[in-house]
Copies of this chain bind each other. A is one copy, B any other.
């Protein structure tokens, strides 16, 4: 049987146009810093991709920094904020003040782990704001409640990769405005608002002007693009300070050294182009397939299935389902019994046997987290695929019940 891929939050295939763009751009091998034609051609291709990425999120090309991926971008944002804080601290002469960061308890590890690293190093304090267990989302109030005079960074995942829950980025941004104004006129301590939009791009509308974020992380392989990323920095050079963590040849206007990965950058631009054109249609298609999947599962499983956090604002492609009776079923075991259904129990980075920390932080019991499957549809998913997948999962479940 042909595999049915229902793990689009782990990674997406390359769109055919993106594959072609990358393959074609392998010829653009000139060093973009070189002054002759071959170099200029590569440079121009990168400029075009920068415009495409900027356009996708309603920003300006000068606000885009290409980098190796979401992990690097998120790590660099935190690094940069620490640099800004250090410079501010130097200007005040107060050596003992410690930077404070507000984040959620359900961040991707590429935000959580660097924050914990710097916390362990004694360079910052972090408040991990728990999500409301009834929705899986943080509330604006809970975030604002954590605010301190020393808060320099609020970092909130746009949509959780495992639960699909969308966070109130827009509302948090609005609530922050007051503090931003205050800071500017009083302490002048910088205050940054960052969102890891890895799971948002290509699935929901992402408009940086509306969101009013300072940093936004873009990850190619989550929206049918290549395995690189880009960082949006609001009014880079003029308003928001940004400091590189990689030092070298000064590429990307000094914000990200390293000879540019031209073909992948071109592919990223192409992937953005497709999102610009197809987002609305994609969203409808995702929702249709995901809802059909949930409907089929509901029919097949009846009382044995629970849809985690289906109440609030969710990504249109994501279903987090807990299949269990008397708590004896394990998601990993279930999936291993229907190998042609490509899905996961949590984020791909943690395909181990432990129950997902994000699910537990989202309010699920350990038992429920262990019985949860993450099923995420994509552009190529067909209605018959999700029906077949639901049946295969039921069959696998029955085989476990009987054995």
Contacts and interface: CB of A to CB of B under 8 A. Distances in A.
A146 interface: no
A26 B14 contact: yes
8 contacts: A34-B348, A34-B351, A35-B344, A36-B342, A68-B261, A70-B248, A70-B259, A109-B257
Contact of A258 (B14, B33, B71, B249): B71
Interface centre among A69, A117, A248, A349 (most CB of B within 10 A): A248
Given A31-B11, A261-B264, A339-B37, A248 B109 contact: yes
A205 interface: no
A351 B40 CA distance: 12
A385 to B, nearest CB: 15
Interface stretch (A166-174, A221-229, A272-280, A285-293): A221-229
B7 A29 contact: no
B348 A248 contact: no
A248 B19 contact: no
Interface size for chain A: under 10, 10 to 19, 20 to 34, or 35 or more residues?
35 or more
Contacts of A117: 247
Nearest to A267: B26
Interface in A159-204: none
A130 interface: no
Contacts of A350: 33, 249
Interface string A7-27: 100111110000100110010
A22 B26 contact: yes
Contact of A349 (B33, B69, B246, B335): B33
B246 A72 contact: yes
B248 A108 contact: yes
Given A12-B29, A35-B335, 7 more contacts: A10-B34, A39-B348, A39-B351, A68-B258, A114-B246, A114-B247, A226-B263
A262 B14 CA distance: 12
A351 B259 contact: no
Interface in A20-71: 22-23, 26, 29-31, 33-39, 67-71
A72 B245 CA distance: 9
A35 B26 CA distance: 30
A128 to B, nearest CB: 15
A312 interface: no
A349 B13 contact: no
A250 interface: yes
B29 A26 contact: no
Contacts of A258: 68-72, 110
B259 A348 contact: yes
Interface in A114-157: 114, 116-117
A332 B264 CA distance: 30
A80 interface: no
B29 A14 contact: yes
Contacts of A23: 19, 22-23, 26
